[in-house]
Amino acid sequence: MKVRTRFAPSPTGYLHVGGARTALFNWLFARKHGGEFVLRVEDTDEARNTDEAKQAIFDGMSWLGMDWDEGPGKGGDCGPYFQSERKEIYDKWFDTLADAGRVYEDDGAWRFKFERKPVTMNDMVCGEVTIDYRDESNTPDMVVKRSDGSYVFHFVNVVDDLEMGVTHVIRGEDHLMNTPKHLQLFEAFGVEPPRYAHIPLILNEDGSKMSKRDEGAAVGDYPKKGFLPEGVVNFIALLGWNPKTEEEVFSMAELIERFSLEHVNRAPGRFDFEKCKWVNQQHLAKLTDEEFAAAAKPFVVAAGLEPGADYPAVAGAVREKVRLLSEVPDAVDFLLKDEISYDPETVEKVRGNDVAKGVMSGLGGVFAEISEWSADAAKEALGVLAKEAGSKPGKLMFPLRVALSGKGGGPDLGVILELLGKEKCAQRVGKFAEML
């Protein structure tokens, strides 16, 4: 039996990180088992569904790298893949229930007759769960068709899974109590139900339910903030799934290899946006300088900076220093601009150092006289002046960094000296000495 999973979002807003996590677990499970992943759209709520929301879902999943085998834009043998286009299919299965005497009219609507017995499901994450349908006061027969002729979620969800040959349904724990209803429908249709796995909810760090307004909730915001899709996928995978090792950084291929429903936690996942940035940083560090420079370039250009011929080396200098691509412009601006600004608080730290002031006043001229410029030659010159001033070169590295970059941190000082070159280094040190 070929594994078939599905993701069935409702296009009433952007792709939420919780929905993306559900899609990811279904996608990983299908890929792990050599199966197929289906995307279908639950768009029967005409008042709330929008074309923009549909596109946001498609764009978000594509950006994350979760390609679907069947669905909108791909086609397949089980279409249409929009619920709004499947009414004839639903009518056919409703007639099957009617012919079997399993539905009856109630104030214009139609209810499905539950069999009055305990229903036990063996969930692949939550274990055995039983709902007792013998007490009709707790489990009234459910409406499957409204008085306006439209069908409810429970009915169309089951019909779609049946028609599309879905073998495994991986969805949020908030649907757990719906599953016995769905099992009764599958039984009434005379077909084997899929296997179910209900994954834990995602909560904020403080334990509150994650809302659409919380930072990190909208997948569409991640590219704008400078995340890599690989980093976001890695982070989302860890929200409720545990690889059972100390490792936390995985490529997509590694996630496919490692993923299993047995390692999905019962406890809710805790969303930590700072952790997400850390995971992203680990993926940025794995890129080559050329790959990193290309990924960061749109942010650099948008900041009004001009990437020159040495831009890959400039970007590469901060590759392991930033967590987000959006941080790159601020990290490299002093390497791409002729005129730089100085952080006042950092300058004050140097201003109180009389030795640094004395050395800086002469260092610009010494730099200008170096015949063959290199970071080693520049540091050697600094060492000579430091010795003359009765100090150690190490104590003057920070003042030189501030003089060249205007910042207290950043790339290795040797890299800065090489990238800026003799003329800029001499000019900036001289200007900084005047400021002091």
- Cα 408 from chain centre: 31
Check residue 355 and give its pLDDT: 85
Rounded-to-integer distance, Cα 47 and Cα 322, Å: 43
Check residue 154 and give its pLDDT: 96
Examine the pLDDT at 247 and tell me if it is beyond 80. yes
3-class secondary structure, 419: helix
- Cα 48 from chain centre: 25
Give the DSSP letter of residue 151.
B
Tally of CA atoms within 13 A in the half-sphere of 262 that contains its CB: 2
Higher pLDDT, 21 or 45: 21
Say which range, 47-51, 110-114, 233-237, 398-402, has the weakest mean pLDDT.
47-51
Write the pLDDT tens digit of every residue in 188-233.
999 999 999 999 999 998 888 887 778 888 999 999 999 999 999 9
Rounded-to-integer distance, Cα 28 and Cα 238, Å: 13
- Residues marked as catalytic: 212
Average pLDDT over residues 130-138: 94
CB contact at 8 A, 55 and 17: no
Average pLDDT over residues 271-282: 97
Joined together, the tokens standing for residue 397 give 């590295």
Rounded-to-integer distance, Cα 138 and Cα 150, Å: 25
Mean pLDDT of the chain: 95
CB contact at 8 A, 241 and 25: yes
Write the pLDDT tens digit of every residue in 168-193.
999 999 999 999 999 999 999 999 99
The pLDDT-based confidence of 145 (bands split at 50, 70, 90) is very high
Rounded-to-integer distance, Cα 193 and Cα 342, Å: 66
